[in-house]
Amino acid sequence: MRHLVTLDDLSNFEIEQIFRLASGMQSQLETWAGICRSKLLATLFYEPSTRTRLSFESAMERLNGGTLGFADPSATSVTKGETLADTARMVTNYADIIVMRHSWAGAARVMAQYTHIPVINGGDGSHTHPTQALTDLYTIIRRKSKVEGLTVGICGDLQFGRAAHSFALAVARFGGKLIHIAPNPLQMPPWVLAQLEQCHGQIPLEVENITEVIEKLDVIYVNRLQEERLPANMDAAAVRGSYLLNAEVMKNAKPDAMIMHPLPRVNELAYELDEDPRAAYFEQSANAVPVRMALIASLIGLEQLILTQPPKRHIRTSTTTCTNANCVTNYETYLVPECETFSGNMEFQTCAYCGNLLS
């Protein structure tokens, strides 16, 4: 059985297989319709969501499967103090696959540890959002045929934006060249930079303003400020409204550049760009359905055809507790800390739950 907690759970080959299936599903929906008949997807959304939850429900129902779940945890036993582990043990008996979103980094990993059905991470705190990254890559490949060799600028809240983290790591894995564009307090966190360098040999250029690099970019990936995740000691007023992509900025962009955004947008991406043929963000949200259909089918229906061996990882019990205040190990106290080792020219360890660097 396989899970998708972070993109490291899939090999590049498997991702390409999922994209081939997604593309087939997109062009011939009826052929695949019966694949999840009598299967159930549990959607456990402990955090707000529009696109992710609806596109997962749409994907499952287009495969003739059913869905059950919640979008408002206040109506569940969470309010009575039920742990993630117990919820996982219970949902195992009610569904065939789970997609979950939670505000704690590493929450989906806990669910995967305590259930006997595949778990898909629909976003965990400011950690990662692997299915968004799959949709993003798929959208780039559909427009530009490949990611390799493209210059990809990621702009906005790179510190707290989980979509930015998984997207950066995904682009690097497929050979894209990254530029990180953000005001200093919102730059990419050290754990993402360490993985980019160690696993993909990339040290991205970091700039504060998009106008410095706009003419170089093949892909411009904008993120909103993650207002709900800003720490109390951060000067929010200083970063609020500090970046904006609009028609004036896009005048200097390549004529075939792509504008992307995981959405929702707040005030960092001007509406005047919606008619620009370079805008790809609504296409991105539409592509979420075939990509999630292919992922669900791969994890529960076509596992032997699509998935091979999970990539090898070096995870073991850790003596160091995670210092990330948002890490699930600080809330679910029955968890045993685990760390992942990345070795090569510079060895480092991360919390296996939330990805934070351990010292």
If binding means CB under 6 A, how many residues of this protein chain bind ligand NCD?
Answer: 12
x/- letters, 204..233, toward ligand NCD (CB under 6 A):
-------------------xx---------
Angle of CA points 83, 86, 90, to nearest 5°: 140
Long-range CB contacts for residues 232-237, cutoff 8 Å, separation at least 24: 234/185, 235/185
Buried b (16+ CB within 10 A) or exposed e, 61-76: ebbebebebebebeee
In the residue annotation, 129 being an active-site residue is answered as: yes
DSSP code of 234?
S
- Separation between Cα atoms, residue 141 and residue 221, nearest integer Å: 14
Closest CB to ligand NCD among residues 132, 330: 132
Q: What string marks each residue from 116 to 145 as x (binds ligand NCD by CB under 6 A) or -? A: -------x-----x--x-------------
* CA–CA separation, 186 and 70 (whole Å): 32
Question: In the annotation, is 80 catalytic?
Answer: yes
Between 51 and 200, name the residue whose CB sits nearer to ligand NCD: 51
Instruction: Please tell me whether residue 52 binds ligand NCD under the rule CB under 6 A.
Output: yes
Task: Report, in Å, the least distance between residue 105 CB and ligand NCD.
Answer: 12
CB of 47 to ligand NCD, least distance (A): 8
Helices 162-173 and 190-200, packing angle to 10 deg? 10
Select 35 or 105, whichever has its Cβ closest to ligand NCD: 105
From the number of C-beta atoms within 10 Å of its C-beta (0-12, 13-18, 19+), residue 337 rates as middle
Q: Is the dihedral of CA 285, 289, 291, 295 positive or negative?
A: positive
Q: How far is the CB of 189 from ligand NCD (least distance, A)?
A: 15
Position of minimal CB gap to ligand NCD: 262
324 touches ligand NCD by CB under 6 A:
no
Helices (H) and strands (E) in the chain, counts: 12, 13
Question: Distance between CA 38 and CA 307 in Å, rounded?
Answer: 22
Clarify whether 314 is annotated catalytic.
no
Of residues 16, 33, 51, 341, which one binds ligand NCD by CB under 6 A?
A: 51
Amino acid at position 108, single letter: A
- Given the complex with ligand NCD, which of 158 and 294 has the nearer CB atom? 158
The two tokens of residue 148 are 């390799």
Active site residue 316: no
Active-site choice (53, 102, 127, 129): 129
Q: Which of 101, 109, 177, 261 is catalytic?
A: 101
| Range in contact with ligand NCD (rule: CB under 6 A) among 38-46, 75-83, 161-169, 348-356 | 161-169
The end-to-end CA distance of the chain, in Å, is: 32
Residue with tokens 């410095």: 212
* Catalytically annotated residues: 51-52, 80, 101, 129
Residues forming the site for ligand NCD (CB under 6 A): 51-52, 123, 129, 132, 161-163, 223-224, 262-263
